[in-house]
């Protein structure tokens, strides 16, 4: 499937997943804030939240309600 044909939230999740696997975000790091990521990807917060939910479901992120997102690695690469 063509990358551009993927939903925007899937493209964002893919980019964040790549950053995690490349070591840009380390275990225990906090991601930038929701507003910072929304601005960076030029999307609304709903779209960003869908991307974050995908990564949380994969076990790559832990979301603490009302706090910054924490990246958690649950398996070794």
Res 73: pLDDT: 55
Q: How confident is the model at residue 1 (pLDDT cuts 50, 70, 90)?
A: low
Q: Is the whole-model pTM more than 0.85?
A: no
Q: Which of 3, 8, 4, 6 is nearest to 47 (CA)?
A: 8
Could you report how far apart the first and last alpha carbons of the chain are, in Å? 25
Res 75: pLDDT: 47
- Torsion angles phi and psi, residue 61, rounded to 5: -130, 150
Give the model confidence (pLDDT) of 37-73 as tens digits: 999 999 999 999 999 999 989 988 888 766 666 655 5
Average pLDDT of the chain to the nearest whole number? 84
Q: Which of 23, 17, 29 is nearest to 60 (CA)?
A: 17
Domain 3-71 in this protein, CATH class: mainly alpha
């Amino acid at each position: 499937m063509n990358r551009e044909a993927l939903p925007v939230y899937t493209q964002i999740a893919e980019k964040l997943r790549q950053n995690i696997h490349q070591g840009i975000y380390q275990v225990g790091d906090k991601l930038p804030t929701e507003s910072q990521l929304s601005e960076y990807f030029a999307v609304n917060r709903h779209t960003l939240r869908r991307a974050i939910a995908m990564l949380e479901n994969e076990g790559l992120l832990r979301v603490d309600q009302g706090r910054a997102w924490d990246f958690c690695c649950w398996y070794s690469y």
